[in-house]
Structure 1
């Protein structure tokens, strides 16, 4: 599949998680980081989108342990939380 199509689909999935909090966290992460992702990083994020929002959010904020298969630089980047848009 074409890279641009994959990214468009992922952006939609990232911003339509089911709760506003998950949308802001996952969608904000996507918007901030996706332009620089390699094909392997895109595949990682595609797989992450199959996980439950509560788990993704828990891993990102450190309230639940990260399973071994999600450890690595992408999760470490997600855990920075500096990509979440704050409405004022």
Structure 2
């Protein structure tokens, strides 16, 4: 489990903010949805404003660009080269597209 860096303290998301984040993360590409679904299953209770900022930046990407990052074909650069993006991307990659229950 990866938390936000100590230099970036951030409050945990309340139910309304978490609901908005879920809505914001809806994607058109199934592969991205699988990563995102597992991310929320594993980290939903610990997500902070810092994480929401990173996730928001990633959700601004086109589906194929996001998938390239998730599959480690690319790394964040330019405007995406931010601590929040790196943290959330690491959490998404660690969550993977494999269901948490192992099926």
TM-score, normalising length from structure 2?
0.63
CA contact (8 A) 2:24 2:56 kept: no
Shift in CA distance, 19/83, structure 1 to aligned 2, threshold 3 Å: closer
Matched residue, 1:44: 54
> Structure 2: 5+ residue runs without aligned partners?
1-12
The higher relative CO (CA closer than 8 Å, separation ≥ 6) is in 2
Aligned partners of 1:29 and 1:84 also within 8 Å: no
Count of aligned positions:
86
Residue 3 of structure 2 corresponds to none
Q: Does 1:24 align with 2:34?
A: yes
Report the 3-state secondary structure (helix = DSSP H, G, I; strand = E; otherwise coil) of the residue aligned with 1:80.
helix
**Aligned twin of 1:53:** 63
Residue 9 (structure 1) aligned with residue 23 (structure 2)? no
Q: Which has the higher helix share?
A: 1
Query: TM-score normalised to the size of structure 1?
Result: 0.71
**Counterpart residue number, 1:85:** 99
Q: Distance in 1 between matches of 2:97 and 2:40?
A: 9
Which stretches of structure 1, 4 residues or longer, exceed 6 Å deviation after superposition? Answer: none
CA distance in 2, matches of 1:26, 1:47: 14
Structure 1, unmatched stretches of 5+, are none
Whole-angstrom distance in 1 between the partners of 2:82 and 2:63:
16
